[in-house]
Amino acid sequence: MKLFFQKAQWFITHFQMLRDFAARNFYKDTESIQVIRNSSFFDETYYKRNNPDLTDNKDLIAHYFEHGGFERRDPSEFFCSEEYFSINPDVDKSSINPLYYYETHDEKDERMFSTIQSERGDHFPQGTQTISIIQEPAPPVHKRTAVVSCYFHDGKIPDSLMILIRGVKEIADNLILVGDCPVFPSELEKIKNYVCYAHFERHNQYDFGSYKIGFNYARKAGLLKADTADELILINDSCYGPVYPFSELFQRMESVICDFWGINGSKKPPENIFKPHISSFFYVFRRSVINGNDIDDFLNAIHGKYDRSKVICLLELEFTQYLQKKGFIWQVTDKKNEYNIYLHPLTALETYRLPLVKKKALKGNSEEVLNKILSIISDNCPELIPCIQPTYTPRVFQTVFYSRTSEIDSRKNKKDFR
């Protein structure tokens, strides 16, 4: 009897571990992997291109099913494993691959696979509000106006966003911050010295919805007039930065003849996967574009809710094409397509001194590459290191991350902190 109770107690204590083990192994069969293979959300070319650490002889579908999904790697441009686990924490705890779960359960459960689709009242903490602040605009010095798009689920403006805001404010006279989320009113104290306008509201249109709100305010408030701004910047919070000052990048682009430009994009997308376009996380529009109403028309045509695939296909890819058809010339900082900020973040930092690092670009790199990236960041913007989330990369990143954090703490203690 005593032995029975000891076994029962062990089973109760280790129930979660046993459940997870059983779940993982139950679903690891040929039929289950076939579900991933047949999913419209698995793009083998995308998965290989965005995970350069995987060798050619790996079965990419099996890798995503058994490892990649749990490491928060994305199976395609249109499904975010990290986001799915965030919305559905019970799936995260179940140890079932997120895409497999979505394909086999979601039609019945009516689950959401993107935060942009979620309307649950409990998704944002109680006490968060739809709220705005308006302050006196600054006089034109740099002659730039910037709109920063952001999203955070806990109602608190993250430190990484504050670092980005401060960096943008160094090159823009007036900064407009728009969040696709409610916020705790007390958080507005953090930004009052940096923004002329801020608005937080769940609009369900990703960064383009925030760009629309911010742009319309800038137009209405006279922040885009010829005597106020020569350039308009649109930037979202999907990046860490600035690692290097934005002023370096703007100085390099001064001599480039174009009407608008961005940090990342391609005039000749690989394998014709996408249309030529600029990535939506960073745009700069010059006076020739701002003078007309073309941006106004495109943004104000955005109505209703958008999921991830709609935002990419109908907005991000089409925006550049739309302006190009209007006769505007565009450019990206990498004119020769020698790097891609998503695929080669180290090259972008080390060789081209780009100020931003895409958060998801930290996935799939070796310990050596990650260590170099973090070393560059800690040497140039050490306050960013504690903001970087280990969950954006495989487990190897956690070792590198914590070693870099310890090194910075040591430098602080020695008063050698830059």
| 245, two tokens | 């000052």
The answer to whether 34 and 99 have CB atoms below 8 angstroms apart is no
Q: What residues contact residue 360 under an 8 Å CB cut-off, 6+ apart?
A: 74, 238, 342, 392
Name the one residue in this structure whose structure tokens are 């991000």: 316
pLDDT of amino acid 111 = 58
Confidence of residue 24 (pLDDT cuts 50, 70, 90): very low
pLDDT of amino acid 40 = 80
d(CA 72, CA 126): 28
pLDDT of amino acid 416 = 40
**Percent of the chain clearing pLDDT 70 (strictly above):** 77
Confidence of residue 161 (pLDDT cuts 50, 70, 90): very high
Across-strand partners of 66?
A: none
Is 271 found in the same domain as 160?
A: yes
Is 376 found in the same domain as 266?
A: no
126 SS3 class? coil
pLDDT of amino acid 124 = 83
| 357, two tokens | 């690092």
Is 270 found in the same domain as 240?
A: yes
pLDDT of 269-288, one tens digit each?
Answer: 555 456 888 999 999 999 99
pLDDT of 94-145, one tens digit each?
Answer: 788 888 888 887 554 555 555 544 444 446 888 999 999 999 999 999 999 9
- Is 74 within the bounds of a domain? yes
Is the predicted pLDDT of residue 403 greater than 60, yes or no? no
Residue 194: CB atoms within 10 Å: 17
Q: What CATH number is associated with residue 306?
A: 3.90.550
> Among 7-11, 121-125, 156-160, 229-233, where is mean pLDDT lowest?
7-11
Of all helices (H) and strands (E), which one includes residue 375?
A: helix 367-380
- Is 345 within the bounds of a domain? no
Q: 410 or 215: whose pLDDT is higher?
A: 215
Please provide the average confidence, as pLDDT, over all residues in the chain.
82
Is 139 found in the same domain as 31?
A: no
- Is 418 within the bounds of a domain? no
- Is 14 within the bounds of a domain? yes
- Is 266 within the bounds of a domain? yes
Query: 84, 113, 142 — which closes off a domain?
Result: 113
What domain range is 379 assigned to? 363-413
Is 92 found in the same domain as 177?
A: no
Own/partner pairs, 393-398, CB within 8 angstroms, 24+ separation? 393/71, 393/362, 393/363, 393/364, 393/365, 394/53, 394/71, 394/73, 394/363, 394/364, 395/71, 396/366, 396/367, 396/370, 397/362, 397/365, 397/367, 397/370
Pick from 33-37, 82-86, 308-312 the range whose average pLDDT is largest. Answer: 33-37
According to DSSP, the β-strands at 277-278 and 260-262 are unpaired
The answer to whether 243 and 349 have CB atoms below 8 angstroms apart is yes
pLDDT of amino acid 10 = 58
Is 49 found in the same domain as 16?
A: yes
- Is 354 within the bounds of a domain? no
Is 303 found in the same domain as 186?
A: yes
Residue 247: CB atoms within 10 Å: 14
Is the predicted pLDDT of residue 36 greater than 50, yes or no? yes
Residues counted in the chain: 418
- Is 53 within the bounds of a domain? yes
CA distances from 114 to 20, 119, 127, 158, 195 (A): 24, 11, 23, 21, 29
- Is 119 within the bounds of a domain? no
Q: What residues contact residue 101 under an 8 Å CB cut-off, 6+ apart?
A: 88, 91, 94
pLDDT of 55-73, one tens digit each?
Answer: 766 788 888 988 888 888 8
The answer to whether 140 and 124 have CB atoms below 8 angstroms apart is no
Respond yes or no on whether the N-terminal peptide bond of residue 182 is cis (omega within 30° of 0). Answer: no
pLDDT of amino acid 317 = 87
d(CA 169, CA 237): 14
pLDDT of amino acid 118 = 45
Is 286 found in the same domain as 159?
A: yes
Name the one residue in this structure whose structure tokens are 């903490």: 125
pLDDT of amino acid 122 = 46
Q: 411 or 197: whose pLDDT is higher?
A: 197
pLDDT of amino acid 88 = 76
The answer to whether 236 and 281 have CB atoms below 8 angstroms apart is yes
- φ, ψ of residue 101 to 5 degrees: the values are -60, -45
Is the predicted pLDDT of residue 47 greater than 90, yes or no? no
Is 306 found in the same domain as 187?
A: yes
According to DSSP, the β-strands at 131-134 and 197-200 are antiparallel
**Which pTM does this prediction carry?**
0.74
Is 290 found in the same domain as 383?
A: no
Query: 332, 350, 384 — which closes off a domain?
Result: 332
Is 372 found in the same domain as 224?
A: no
Number of separate domains in the chain: 3
pLDDT of 188-213, one tens digit each?
Answer: 999 999 999 999 999 989 999 999 99
Query: 85, 113, 141 — which closes off a domain?
Result: 113
Q: 25 or 174: whose pLDDT is higher?
A: 174
Q: For residues 84-96, give the mean pLDDT.
A: 78
Name the one residue in this structure whose structure tokens are 């960073």: 282
Is the predicted pLDDT of residue 368 greater than 50, yes or no? yes
Q: Pick the closest to residue 34 from 103, 133, 122, 120 (CA basis).
A: 103
Is 157 found in the same domain as 44?
A: no
Is the predicted pLDDT of residue 226 greater than 50, yes or no? yes
